[in-house]
Amino acid sequence: MSSYFVYKIKEFNFIITSHGSEIIRFSKRKMAKRIIGEMYNNAEKVVCVSSYTKSLLFDNFNIKNKNKIVVIPCGVSEAFINSENKRELIRKRHNISPQTILLFTLARLGS
């Protein structure tokens, strides 16, 4: 958001990465919705981390150029996910039993 305010003073190209929670938060506030909508419309590109985030953007803001919205999912290397050795190393390092289910997320939890 700060880059947008700088853009208002001195125009330059900027790209927004949208994770989704900010869309939900700002779409409920009239003034914020207007400013954020203007910000999305003035961005050169908007990167959404999921198709769901992209649909939230279209549903909540009047996006004039829908072609500038692209989806690039967050990712994790398969080597990280499929490595039994790393799982065992993590369990050993943190004293976690094999019966305990491990859950890993790159997201933050919020309301």
30-83 pLDDT, tens digit per residue, is 888 888 888 889 889 999 999 999 999 999 888 899 999 999 987 666 666 666
Q: Which residues contact 36 (CB under 8 A, 6 or more apart)?
A: 1, 22, 23, 26, 27, 61
Instruction: Give the Cα separation of 28 and 56 in Å (integer).
Output: 12
Give the per-residue pLDDT at 46: 93
For 31, the 3-state DSSP assignment is helix
Question: Residue ranges per domain, the chain?
Answer: 2-71
Q: What is the mean pLDDT of the chain?
A: 80
pTM of full prediction above 0.85: no
Task: Provide the pLDDT for residue 47.
Answer: 93
Work out the average pLDDT over 20-35. Answer: 84
Tell me the per-residue pLDDT of 91-110, one tens digit each, with 9 for 90 and over: 888 888 888 877 666 665 55
Give the pLDDT confidence score for residue 106 in this predicted structure. 61
